[in-house]
Homo-oligomer: A and B are copies of this chain.
Amino acid sequence: MTSTPLADLWPTLPGADVRPEAAYRLLQAAVESFAERGFHATTTRDIATAAGMSPAALYIHYQSKAALLAEISRAGHAATLALVRGAVAGPGGPAERMRRLVEQFTAWHARARTVGRVVNYELHALPEDAYAVVAALRLDIEREVSALIEAGAAAGEFQVAEVRTAARAVTSLGIDVSRWYTDNSSETPEELGRRYGELVLRMLGARV
């Protein structure tokens, strides 16, 4: 069993209430298969079998294999954006907000690494229209981080030469966690989050 794939993640999402239990099982099976083998190496038989059904059942709940990927990617990005906005909107100055953002962003990419892998590394397999939706969400995430760094620089809490580069580095660190984090990793997602929060604040020139 992988740890906390989407059971805690999906139901709370706006517009992502996966109604029949069978559809949810298919979604879960697809996330795990796509994360492990990649979209193209996963067959519809893999997904259906993992969900305890025949291949034909998949097409009652989703239009195609690609539609499953699109739904996973959309909901995963929406969840990430919500997490980022929640952290930024909380109390405190830019440094405190940034620490919270990195802690949660990092912990999420460790805990929900299966979803994270699909979300970040299977973009190229998305149909064009689904990609457009997801690209807009990614831009929003980047803008939130950039705005926070800008605010910190303006307040004199951060010293950064280039806001865009710094923002890239911050999101990059978090995203890449979903690539390398495993069950065998010595740190819990929360520990890793705290340590990354510390590293990022120093990177941004905040007095820690």
Contacts and interface: CB of A to CB of B under 8 A. Distances in A.
Contact of A37 (B124, B179, B199): B124
Mostly helix, strand, loop or mixed at chain A's interface? helix
Interface stretch (A1-9, A14-22, A68-76, A169-177): A169-177
Stoichiometry (number of copies): 2
Nearest to A203: B203
A113 to B, nearest CB: 14
Contacts of A179: 120-121, 175
Contact of A202 (B121, B195, B202): B202
Interface in A10-42: 36-41
Contact of A195 (B125, B162, B186): B162
B203 A199 contact: yes
Contacts of A161: 195, 198
B186 A180 contact: no
A123 B102 CA distance: 27
Interface string A143-168: 00000000000000000011011101
A202 B121 CA distance: 29
Contacts of A38: 38-40, 124-125
B121 A121 contact: yes
Contacts of A176: 172-173, 175-176
A205 B172 CA distance: 20
Given A36-B124, A38-B125, 11 more contacts: A121-B121, A162-B195, A164-B186, A165-B196, A172-B173, A172-B180, A173-B173, A175-B176, A199-B203, A202-B202, A202-B203
Interface of A: 36-41, 120-121, 124-125, 161-162, 164-166, 168-169, 172-173, 175-177, 179-180, 186-187, 192, 195-196, 198-200, 202-203, 205
